[in-house]
Amino acid sequence: MLKQLGDMDYRIGKQGEYANSYIDRIEKLLTGGAIIQTSDDVKIRAAQRAIDKLCPFHKNKNSMADAVLLEIYRDMLAGRGDEEHLALVTHNKHDFSDMHGDERAPHPDIGDLFATEGSTYALALGEVLNAYAPDWMEELKWEFEYEEKPRSLSQILEAEHMLFRQIWYNRHLNLMDRVESGEIEIVDELGKTEKGYYRQDQITRGTLETALAAGERTRKEIGEENLGPWDDFEWGMLNGKLSALRWVTGSEWDFLDT
């Protein structure tokens, strides 16, 4: 239960970061777009639609902003080039679509805007892009929609523990090699240097027994197949991975204590 709660707390923080990145992307799109001024003629035509109760005024609500958009689109159609293709994309199907027929089609009151080639009515931007630029759409999906799913906190901690044991065990083997070669002396009690520090070339019998028992537990816990041996490159990778995972969980860079 505690593991699941930890994962949930970690996931909530990541979700907020993703939301901020999407907001930043939307802001860049809006600020980079062309601004079209609303003329008095557009406003007059929109008001006339209200008087005539034409779409989007076929419902009992104030739809002036929607009507202005329609009239702006009409002006854009009139001023477009021969090779230009325009599209009106909206999720507001209840105000703009033919809800008594095919909701993917425009309301009959605005059907004239989409009766000619080069003008499309759609309920989703993907429909238009897939129809007119399928190759570019696939490339765009890969660039903007592909996301690697973040690891859960429990997965990160599990991997960090595995690396911790692997690196500890390698250091353990180095210690045992130094003991076997006589470089480190086995004693009952550590001696001290002239400066009062414990000698690094000695190990007590009790410490040695504890280290041997810890090595056996490690072999049983993660399996000897996961304990090397490694070449210099692989050893560097192990240390780099441990450093990175510890940084993610709050430690400083290059913290490799075992």
**Which DSSP category does 113 fall into?**
G
Q: Measured between alpha carbons, how far is 243 from 11 in angstroms, rounded to an integer?
A: 22
- Of 103, 121, 145, which residue is a domain's last? 145
- Residue 249 pLDDT grade (very low, low, confident, very high; cuts 50, 70, 90): confident
Together in a domain, 164 and 69: no
Together in a domain, 126 and 169: no
Is 4 part of a structural domain of the chain?
A: no
For residue 3, the model assigns a pLDDT of: 58
Report the first-to-last Cα separation within the chain, whole angstroms: 28
For residue 150, the model assigns a pLDDT of: 78
Together in a domain, 217 and 135: no
Is 29 part of a structural domain of the chain?
A: no
What is the domain count for the chain?
2
- In 3-state terms the chain splits into helix, strand, coil percentages (rounded to 5) of 60, 5, 35
* Residues β-bridged to residue 119: 86
What lies within 8 Å, CB to CB, of 152 at 6+ separation is 7, 10, 11
Together in a domain, 168 and 134: no
Range name among 5-14, 58-67, 93-102, 123-132 with the lowest pLDDT average? 5-14
- Of 84, 112, 145, which residue is a domain's last? 145
Count of all residues that appear for the chain in the document: 258
- Long-range contacts for 23-30 (Cβ within 8 Å, ≥24 apart)? 25/144
Greatest mean pLDDT among 78-82, 142-146, 158-162 lies in 158-162
Q: Cis peptide leading into 56, omega within 30 of 0?
A: yes
pLDDT per residue over 6-37, tens digit each?
Answer: 555 555 555 666 677 778 878 888 888 788 88
Determine the angle formed by the axes of helices 40-52 and 64-78, rounding to 10 degrees.
Answer: 120
CB 192 within 8 A of CB 199: yes
Is 28 part of a structural domain of the chain?
A: no
The whole-chain average pLDDT of the chain stands at: 86
Together in a domain, 134 and 162: no
For residue 255, the model assigns a pLDDT of: 87
* Residues β-bridged to residue 121: 88
Q: Measured between alpha carbons, how far is 111 from 156 in angstroms, rounded to an integer?
A: 56
Is 8 part of a structural domain of the chain?
A: no
Q: Which helix (H) or strand (E) holds 88?
A: strand 86-89
Together in a domain, 102 and 187: no
CB 238 within 8 A of CB 167: yes
Together in a domain, 127 and 187: no
- The residue ranges of DSSP E strands in 135-257, in sequence order, are 185-187, 202-204
- Of 113, 145, 177, which residue is a domain's last? 145
For residue 62, the model assigns a pLDDT of: 84
Together in a domain, 128 and 160: no
What is the average pLDDT across 90-105? Answer: 90
For residue 14, the model assigns a pLDDT of: 57
Closest CA to 44 of 75, 2, 21: 75
Is 80 exceeded by the pLDDT of residue 166? yes
- Read off the tokens for 111: 């059907």
Domain hosting 169: range is: 153-248
